[in-house]
Amino acid sequence: MSIRPRRSVLYMPGSNARALEKAKTLDADALILDLEDAVAPDAKEIARSQVCEAVKAGGYGHRELVIRINGLDTAWGRDDLAAAVDAAPDAILAPKVSSASDIFTLTGHMGHAPRSIKLWAMMETPLGMLNAGEVAATAKEGSARLSCFVMGTNDLAKETGARLDNGRRGMVGWLSICVAAACAHGLSIIDGVYNDFKDEDGLIAECEHGRDFGMDGKTLIHPGQIAAANCIFAPSEAEVADARTVIEAFEQPENAGKGAINLNGRMVERMHADMAKRTVQLAEAISGRGGAA
Ligand code: COA
Ligand code: MG
């Protein structure tokens, strides 16, 4: 299966026509066109029609297009979901997913929509943390569309009192449990946003923190955050070169029957060759995708 880079996933308010247009020129891997928290109640309907028009009109190139809807328990959620299905983005992002039954309700409403429309889930409630495994497991159900978790760290901070400063030490448990759930069931997982968008050093540190947890990328709020995420969530040149060395070592005839080999004083097992193949595939997917155009 080919890998889809999701290093940089930029939110933009669906009510902001200028941002929707500007996004066509930005070097983000994915765009979340938001109808939920970034849009004021009075602007919900205009945002919905503007976002769905933009998705239908296209022009976003390689960028994955995701519409974030309001919750089904709000006045707008059902209409958002119907309109989003009709616009047929790559995925629909549902807020505050807390249980497997939330996913089944959403997929039930999506009915016979094309299978290409995936479902992404915001993981941002205390109940969602307790149920992360059962939510992720719905990805294996025949009718399910779930393909990605998005960490909602601002909501988690609000709901739990866990803090976002001090290197996010209060978030470590929530990040870990969601990475484990996502990986157990073959989902991508994207880290939460860094609010202080003028603080580049802070952003870099937080991207590295998320990457070291195993996140595939970071959700972003401002175009100025894209370059750092693209760099930090991509394998470095040294990592790609090392990966190729590991793959080649196992391809040598003398290593054909071996499970573990000595590579310049380092033990390398076949699992490392599998990891190396993934690194090379991701690097190739990134370079194949080109730049901002
Ligand atoms: N997506 C696309 N374009 C964006 C953008 C975004 N998220 N944020 C800013 N821009 C554009 C602006 O429209 C502006 O474009 P222009 O130069 O063509 O006019 C340019 O980038 C510079 O914007 P800037 O003046 O630095 O930011 P701002 O003060 O206008 O807005 C925010 C700051 C935080 C309000 C804005 O970045 C934003 O709305 N971010 C997304 C918020 C969101 O979606 N939250 C929900 C999930 S947490
Ligand atoms: Mg939220």
Q: Is 2 contained in some domain?
A: no
Q: Are residues 158 and 18 in the same domain?
A: yes
Residue 182 region by backbone torsions, left for phi larger than 0, else alpha for psi between -120 and 50, else beta:
alpha
19 shares a domain with 127 = yes
Predicted TM-score (pTM) of the model is 0.96
Domain boundary among 232, 248, 263: 232
Q: Are 138 and 144 in contact (CB under 8 A)?
A: yes
User: Are 64 and 81 contained in the same domain?
Assistant: yes
Q: Output the pLDDT for position 1.
A: 57
What SS3 class is residue 121? strand
Which residue blocks in the chain are alpha helix, DSSP H?
Answer: 17-22, 44-57, 77-87, 100-110, 126-130, 132-137, 153-160, 172-184, 200-213, 226-232, 237-251, 270-289
Which of 194, 209, 232 is the last residue before a domain boundary?
A: 232
Residue 3 lies inside a defined structural domain of this protein: no
Structural domain contains residue 245:
yes
The verdict on 55 and 186 lying in the same domain is: yes
Give, using CA atoms, the residue closest to atom 12 of ligand 1.
19
**Which-ligand-closest: CA of 125?**
2
Classify residue 82: in a domain, yes or no.
yes
Which of 194, 217, 232 is at the close of a domain? Answer: 232
CA distances from 78 to 91, 135, 214 (A): 16, 21, 33
Mutate to test the pocket of ligand 1, among 10, 12, 225 (most ligand atoms within 8 A of CB): 12
- How buried is 135 (Cβ within 10 angstroms: 0-12 exposed, 13-18 middle, 19+ buried)? buried
Residues 57 and 200 in one domain: yes
pLDDT score recorded for residue 142: 65
The helix or strand, by DSSP H or E, that contains position 94, with its residue range, turns out to be strand 91-94
CA of 124 to the centre of ligand 2 (A): 6
Report d(CA 106, CA 58) in Å as an integer. Answer: 25
Nearest-CA residue for ligand 1 atom 3 is 19
Q: Is residue 242 part of a domain?
A: yes
Which of the listed residues 10, 22, 50 should we mutate to test ligand 1's pocket, taking the one with most ligand atoms within 8 A of CB? Answer: 22
Residue of 26, 222, 225, 226 to test ligand 1 pocket, by largest number of atoms within 8 Å of CB: 222
Residue (of 189, 208, 177, 221) closest to 121 by Cα position: 189
CA 13–ligand 1 middle distance (angstroms): 8
What is the predicted pLDDT for the residue at 2? 77
Mean pLDDT by 10 residues, the chain (293 residues): 90 97 97 98 98 98 98 98 98 98 96 95 98 96 88 98 94 97 97 98 98 97 98 97 96 94 95 96 89 54
Counting the structural domains of the chain, the total is 2
Ligand 1 centroid to residue 184 C-alpha, Å: 35
User: Counting atoms of ligand 1 from 1, which one is nearest the CA of 36?
Assistant: 46
Write the DSSP string, 245-276: HHHHHHHSGGGTT-SEEEETTEEEEHHHHHHH
Residue with the nearest Cα to atom 19 of ligand 1?
18
Structure tokens, 33: 């066109």
Q: Are residues 38 and 101 in the same domain?
A: yes
**Do residues 97 and 155 both lie within one domain?**
yes
- 11 Cα–ligand 2 center, Å: 12
What pLDDT score does 292 carry? 57
In a domain? residue 13: yes
Statement to judge: residues 172 and 191 lie in one domain: yes
Residue 90 inside a domain? The answer is: yes
Q: Same domain for 259 and 224? A: no
Three-state DSSP at 19 gives: helix
Closest to 226 (Cα-Cα) out of 207, 213, 242: 207
The 8-class DSSP code of residue 69 comes to P
Residues with CB under 6 A from ligand 1: 10-13, 18-19, 22-23, 34, 37-38, 193, 221-223
Distance 22 CA to ligand 2 centre (A): 24
Q: How far is the CA of 155 from the centre of ligand 2 (A)?
A: 5
Residue 174 shares a structural domain with residue 118: yes
Q: What is the pLDDT of residue 289?
A: 78
Paired strand residues for 31: 10, 65
- Give dist(CA 145, CA 110) in Å, integer: 10
| Whether 115 and 206 share a structural domain | yes
CATH of the domain at 123: 3.20.20.60
Residue 149 in domain: yes
The phi, psi pair for 75, rounded to 5°, reads -70, -20
Same domain, yes or no: 93 and 110: yes
CB–CB of 127/98 below 8 Å?
yes
Task: Determine the structural domain holding residue 141 and report its residue range.
Answer: 8-232
